[in-house]
């Protein structure tokens, strides 16, 4: 990764950083992201932490995301994991590269009976052309892993202008 990429944040990171000092800044940032990809709004997500190569997204346990046993529906969790991955990728992708999701592979490891923290994290070395596997993990309030897996991205060079 170039030194310039490390020192100069892209538009997503710059917006997140700017809004952190505002009242309800995290909520405003999360709403802006959900407007760009409206389906994310169905889980009422909150980006609670964002840095280059890392993102956390909170899904609150509420009736709208319940399944038939009143735990957080796994598809809502998948949506939260995809949002965490997408925001992390947009905030982190080197300027000469672009990304697109190709697939998702997840294991459901425990019941999700509380608010859920969705995490996506990669290393700088993963940003190379080809398939990139982004580890994603969802935790309940006790720190128990409720969903774990990866989202596969296709990383390619941006076309020359």
Report the mean per-residue pLDDT for the chain: 92
Task: Give the pLDDT mean for 44-63.
Answer: 96
CA distance 132 to 3: 22
Answer for the pair 73, 63: CB distance below 8 angstroms, yes or no.
no
Residues in the chain: 161
Secondary structure of residue 10 in the 3-state scheme: coil
Q: Can you give the pLDDT at residue 77?
A: 97
- Please, which pLDDT band fits residue 1 given cuts at 50, 70 and 90? very low
Closest by CA to 51, choosing from 76, 20, 82, is: 20
Higher pLDDT among residues 34 and 115, named by residue: 115
**Rounded to whole angstroms, how far apart are CA atoms 5 and 24?**
28
In order of start, what are the domains of the chain with their CATH numbers? Answer: 3-157 (3.10.129.10)
- The predicted model gives 29-35 an average pLDDT of 90
Coil vs helix vs strand at 118: strand
User: Could you say which DSSP state residue 158 is in?
Assistant: P
Picking from 91, 92, 72, the residue whose alpha carbon sits closest to that of residue 138 is 72
Spell 98-120 as b/e; 16+ CB within 10 A means b. ebeeeeeebeeeeebbbebbbbb
* 106, pLDDT greater than 60: yes
Instruction: Band the pLDDT of 7: cuts 50, 70, 90.
Output: low
CA distances from 136 to 109, 118, 131 (A): 13, 7, 16
């Amino acid at each position: 990764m170039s030194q310039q990429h490390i020192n100069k944040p892209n538009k997503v990171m710059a917006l997140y950083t700017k809004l952190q000092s505002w009242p309800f800044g995290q909520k405003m940032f999360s709403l802006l992201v959900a407007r760009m990809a409206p389906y994310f709004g169905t889980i009422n997500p909150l980006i609670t932490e964002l840095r280059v190569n890392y993102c956390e997204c909170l899904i609150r346990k509420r009736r709208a995301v319940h399944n038939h046993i009143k735990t957080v529906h796994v598809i809502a969790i998948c949506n939260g994991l995809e949002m965490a991955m997408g925001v992390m990728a947009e905030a982190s992708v080197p300027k000469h590269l672009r990304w697109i999701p190709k697939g998702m592979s997840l294991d459901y490891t425990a019941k999700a009976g509380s608010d859920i923290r969705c995490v996506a994290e990669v290393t700088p070395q993963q940003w190379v052309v080809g398939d990139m596997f982004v580890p994603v993990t969802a935790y309940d309030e006790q720190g128990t892993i409720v969903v774990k897996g990866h989202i596969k991205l296709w990383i390619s060079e941006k076309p020359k202008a």
